[in-house]
Amino acid sequence: MNEKVGKILAIDDNEDILFALKLLLKNHVELIQTETDPEKIPEFLSQENFDVILLDMNFTKDAISGQEGFHWLTKITEIDPDAVVVFITAYGDAEKAVKAIKSGATDFILKPWQNEKLLATISSAIKLRKSKSEATDLRKKQKEISAIQDQPFHEFIGNSTEMQQVFSTIKKVARTDANILILGENGTGKELVARALHRNSLRKDEVFISVDLGSIAETLFESELFGHMKGAFTDAKKDKPGRFEIASGGTLFLDEIGNLSLPMQAKLLTVLERREITRVGANKPKFIDVRLICATNNNIHQMTQEESFRQDLLYRVNTVEIHLPALRERVSDILLLADHFLGIYSKKYRKKIKGICAEAMKKLTQYQWPGNVRELQHALERAVIMSDSDSLQPDDFLLSVRNEKVAEIEIDTYNLDDVEKNIIMKVLKQNQGNVTQAASVLGLTRTSLYRRMEKYGL
């Protein structure tokens, strides 16, 4: 124990013992509190969060049974179930030590003690307390998350007929293992639908793995989805399971499936047909059991007609299709969503904003929202940050005009890369850096625009 860590409460009827403990521990722990009267234990525990409690087993003169210690151990654990109690007594024996541990004590130290052993015991007890506290915090968080997740479609805000149809479909298909294809523009909440399907399915206690296929390079496709063996290629320094293998037993969400090239589509189709994967560099296939959910913002049915997406793969992934409406198609939900995000960001940024004025509401409902709910969320966050009044005003919302023509750009080069870079920079600037809106203006997917931005160092 090189640094002062931990808060200790020592309870013993012998003041000399307490003095010796204080003298020994004061240079090793953050706080050492001593007391001769065990009746004061509840008061101490209400005032301070102790890491370790050193507890005498006998407080009555000539008592050797240890019953008083066990009595107070029970009281302590009733007050703090995560308490770490170390019994300390001059009358220890193996039988009482075993009983102490079974009753909830962490350890047992005999008087007179060896200083090094006592310090080592307290150090271990402090670490145990930290682990218990972390585990308790984690359980609380998981309980809170579960409580939230038990609310049907808690992420979705919408009273429109269009969204009610989406909710109805989710309820019907969630508890099946049917493959689902979610269609909708960027920003409509396709992953939220996928997570709702998983959470309401029979696989809800298993993993949910999300994969953005648009961000996986073709050369890494097999390795990322199916895994690889050590030595399969230059950078394969150890065995690595793929996303299918990790998701086995649970749900696998493949986003941007419309971005797959035909060769990758063929590999994916083979896996879905055989229900098994073979890691790169391996000879033996592995059975996989996943509930597959896919999504795309592309017109995938048109792609099959143009033969840029395999029809047999489409049949595999779309047992049921869920169409997510664009925000402009459910105008009645705009103000509901805006109010929801206003509440979130007013709290986050500690702003006392009561609402949205009538003119601002009109501005929001008349806007086309090319970036859909994601764009609305971004707009509300920015408005809350920039607002100086107790209600959001029209000027707090800087909304781009989707059909606005890009201003003339002077071309001083005929290098296509330079021209493309300049146009992207111009559109990003016009849309205040909103990639979703810029991609819409440029006629690109968000992923495609990100790739070009990375290419040009933007």
Residue that is written with structure tokens 């969204």 in the block: 163
Amino acid sitting at position 101: I
The Cβ-side half-sphere exposure at 215, using a 13 Å CA radius, reads: 8
How many other CB atoms are found less than 10 A from the CB of residue 47?
A: 9
- Which pLDDT value is given to residue 130? 86
Domains of the chain, CATH where assigned:
7-142 (3.40.50.2300), 161-325 (3.40.50.300), 328-396 (1.10.8.60), 416-455 (1.10.10.60)
- Which pLDDT value is given to residue 403? 43
Judged on CB neighbours under 10 Å (0-12, 13-18, 19+), 370 is buried
- Which pLDDT value is given to residue 225? 93
- Which pLDDT value is given to residue 253? 95
Cα separation, 319 vs 178, in Å, equals 6
Q: How far apart are the first and last CA of the chain?
A: 50
- Which pLDDT value is given to residue 434? 77
- Which pLDDT value is given to residue 405? 44
pTM for the structure as a whole: 0.57
Residue 241 and residue 225 in contact, taking contact as beta carbons nearer than 8 Å: no
- Which pLDDT value is given to residue 179? 95
Q: Which residues of the chain have pLDDT under 50?
A: 1, 62, 147-153, 402-407
Residue that is written with structure tokens 């953005």 in the block: 212
89, two tokens: 């007594």
Cα separation, 389 vs 399, in Å, equals 19
- Which pLDDT value is given to residue 313? 96
Annotate 336-352 with b (16+ C-beta within 10 A) or e (fewer). ebbeebbeebbeeeebe
Mean pLDDT value across the chain: 85
Judged on CB neighbours under 10 Å (0-12, 13-18, 19+), 212 is middle
- Which pLDDT value is given to residue 53? 93
- Which pLDDT value is given to residue 404? 43
